[in-house]
Amino acid sequence: MSKMTMTQKILAFHAGLESVTAGQLILANVDMVLGNDITSPVAINEFERLGTGRVFDKKRVSLVMDHFVPNKDIKAAEQTKKCRIFADDMGIENFYDCGETGVEHALLPEKGLVTAGDIVIGADSHTCTYGALGAFSTGVGSTDMACGMATGKAWFKVPEAIKFVLTGKPKGWVGGKDVILHIIGLIGVDGALYKSMEFTGDGVKNLTVSDRLCIANMAIEAGAKNGIFEVDEQTIAFLEEVGAKKPVVYKADEDAVYEREIVIDLSKIEPTVAFPHLPENARTFDAIGDIKIDQVVIGSCTNGRLEDFIIAADIMRGKKVAKNVRTIVIPATQKIYLECMQLGLLKDFIEAGAAVSTPTCGPCLGGHMGILAKGERAVSTTNRNFVGRMGHPESEVYLASPAVAAASAITGKISRPEEVAGDKD
């Protein structure tokens, strides 16, 4: 009978079905519909054409102004104004604007708005982040977002799955970013196309929730429909701490059908950097030469959490950013910004010569707060390094962990953390 993966069980329950199989088309109830300042205005236009006059649930729609906020120009201001008016008219409770906002995929988990067993759709490709908490979450288009806001439902094609069995424990400065860059380098940017990346194994316990959020966030960079982690004690503790609703824990059947199984020994992963212009161009430092850089960005929905800034500050504390290297530090939410302030991390960054910004997606998508000029190179903790992603089409983006980014800021070239901070205990 069953033979279902974690994702398939969540989809079956939300569709009111006993079981589902890969390739099946289903209509499922959703627990949260998410939009941002770029995608929501388009969805609002489509929503108005539907003529329902109200959202399906004022508590289960979230609008987060994060990409161009604080507004970078007139167009950005008009977009957020449209969202602001819509949220007010509809009585949407989870509307986050300048001063209380954050990068959406860091903000929703922090606010306890998603939990294990949920289905979350969002008009942003990195909505897959919430799979770290045992949810099925995936990016959709603005039209699907509009229909979701109106009906609380969405159509899905049930994905096949790849089972990633994690073993061992990461060493030294290695973190979630290195793990996911290693995996994408292994399978390629289309290696999980429209599939579920399901993470299990004894090694999961050696990854923090922040590590898992980072890994799930970049599932889309392997083409995946979603990434999802088995729920464990760490997950439950996190959900309780943020006040999320009671989780529903789904485990894959022992005879669940997977397209393939890949074993990843976390203890063998080295600090990893993705070279331009694809996340699959992953290299370890035995294949990285002397590459000078112009900018470093530490932040985003991938690596903008407190743990990331603690790591970066541990490397940069008492040192100076290399001459002619612009280093931009962006806590992903106001809460994280405040925690960084209370721990003295902002002082460490500023004294090192870095600029610290209010929460924004900004430079990740070449939006603002860190655009690259022709020929410039950046090391960034963001998730994409496509041609022109952070500015000029002839600029280059190298994706890395907060540890590698911080070390590179100090040396002025792509560097191993150990070069600056020594071995990590």
- How far apart CA 222 and CA 30 sit, in angstroms, is 24
Alpha-carbon span 34 to 411, nearest angstrom? 39
Q: State the pLDDT at residue 283.
A: 95
For residue 164, the number of C-alpha atoms closer than 13 Å in the C-beta half-sphere is 29
- Indicate if the pLDDT at residue 312 is higher than 70: yes
Q: Is the peptide bond before 67 cis (omega within 30 degrees of 0)?
A: no
* Share above pLDDT 90 across residues of the chain, in percent, rounded to a whole number: 92
Section 315-329 average pLDDT: 96
Q: Is the pLDDT of residue 122 over 80?
A: yes
327 pLDDT above the threshold of 90: yes
Has this prediction a pTM greater than 0.75? yes
pLDDT of 1 above 80: no
State the average pLDDT over residues 84-105.
94
CATH of domain 274-421: 3.30.499.10
pLDDT band at 338 (very low <50, low <70, confident <90, very high): very high
Cα separation of 20 and 26, whole Å? 9
SS (H, E, C) 60-113: CEEEECCCCCCCCCHHHHHHHHHHHHHHHHHCCCEEECCCCCECHHHHHHHCCC
Distance, first Cα to last Cα, the chain: 48
Kindly indicate the confidence band of residue 287, based on its pLDDT and cuts at 50, 70 and 90. confident
Instruction: Note the pLDDT of residue 425.
Output: 66
Mean pLDDT of 172-181: 96
Taking phi first (over 0 means left), then psi (-120 to 50 degrees means alpha), and beta for anything else, what does residue 66 get? Answer: alpha
- Calculate mean pLDDT across residues 213-229: 96
3-state secondary structure 265-289: EHHHCCCEEECCCCCCCEEEHHHCC
Q: Report the chain's mean pLDDT, rounded to a whole number.
A: 95
State the fold for domain 6-266: Aconitase; domain 3 (3.30.499)
* CA-based nearest residue to 215, from 197, 195, 203, 201: 197
Please determine, for residue 223, whether its predicted confidence score (pLDDT) is greater than 70: yes
Q: What is the pLDDT of residues 37-60, one digit of tens each?
A: 999 999 999 999 998 999 999 999
Phi, psi of 158 (to 5 degrees): -60, 125
In angstroms, the Cα distances linking 123 to 82, 104, 130, 149, 255 are 16, 11, 14, 11, 34
* 10 membership: H or E segment, kind and range: helix 6-15
Question: Cβ–Cβ contacts within 10 Å for residue 167, how many?
Answer: 15
Which pLDDT band, with edges at 50, 70 and 90, does 309 fall under?
Answer: very high
- At residue 283, φ and ψ (nearest 5 deg) are -135, 145
Going by pLDDT thresholds of 50, 70 and 90, the confidence category of residue 419 is confident
Q: Where in the chain is the domain with CATH 3.30.499.10?
A: 6-266, 274-421
Peptide bond into 159 cis (omega under 30): no
Mean pLDDT of 347-364: 94
